[in-house]
């Protein structure tokens, strides 16, 4: 299980990190560096090394995503269940957009292609997710400091 949690417990520090917990052994907590942590975005990308998850790029794995209200009720508020994916064989890939992104007011052409075997290896992928990760240009950016093994 991969999940985010606050350093030191609920309401203790305001520092957010990613943890991995092995449900089969009921343990194995490991603190993982949160690589993409910007406060000027509505997105949070939780990263964990494949080796910690017991995966390789060719491993097909099943996963579900659950969101809980951690502040008021603790209740499950959203769920995506029964997904199957293979990192090394996605169903679709995009090309043509520069790695640095498209500048404000700019344009680019995104080409979407099917990958051979991707329909079997990653049947849950139905398209590509394009993310807007940064706030407006020329605005002061506040960066969240991320720490490895912060607990």
Percent of the chain with pLDDT over 70: 75
Residue 149: per-residue pLDDT: 35
Residue 146: per-residue pLDDT: 37
Q: Report the pLDDT averaged over residues 45-69.
A: 88
What's the pLDDT band for 79 if we cut at 50, 70, 90? very high
What's the pLDDT band for 32 if we cut at 50, 70, 90? low
pLDDT at 147 over 60: no
pLDDT at 140 over 80: no
Residue 41: per-residue pLDDT: 61
What's the pLDDT band for 107 if we cut at 50, 70, 90? confident
DSSP per-residue string spanning the chain: -EEEEETTSTTSS--EEEEEEETTTTEEEEEE---B-BSSSS--B----HHHHT--TT-EEEEEEEEE-TTTT--EEEEEEEEEEETTS-SEEEESS-TT---TT-----EEEE-TTHHHHSTT--S------S--TTSPP-B----TT--
pLDDT at 144 over 70: no
């Amino acid at each position: 299980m991969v999940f985010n949690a606050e350093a030191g417990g609920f309401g203790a520090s305001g520092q957010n990190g990613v943890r991995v917990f092995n449900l089969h052994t009921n343990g194995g907590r490991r603190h993982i560096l949160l690589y993409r942590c910007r406060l000027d975005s509505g997105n949070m990308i939780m990263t964990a090394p494949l080796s910690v998850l017991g995966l390789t790029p060719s491993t097909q794995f099943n996963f579900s995503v659950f969101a809980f209200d951690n502040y008021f009720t603790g209740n499950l508020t959203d769920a995506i269940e029964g997904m199957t994916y293979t990192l090394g064989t996605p169903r679709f890939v995009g090309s043509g957009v520069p790695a640095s992104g498209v500048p404000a007011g700019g344009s680019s052409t995104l080409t979407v292609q099917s990958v051979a075997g991707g329909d079997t290896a990653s049947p849950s992928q139905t398209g590509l997710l394009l993310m807007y990760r940064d706030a407006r240009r020329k605005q002061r950016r506040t960066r969240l400091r991320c720490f490895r093994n912060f607990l």
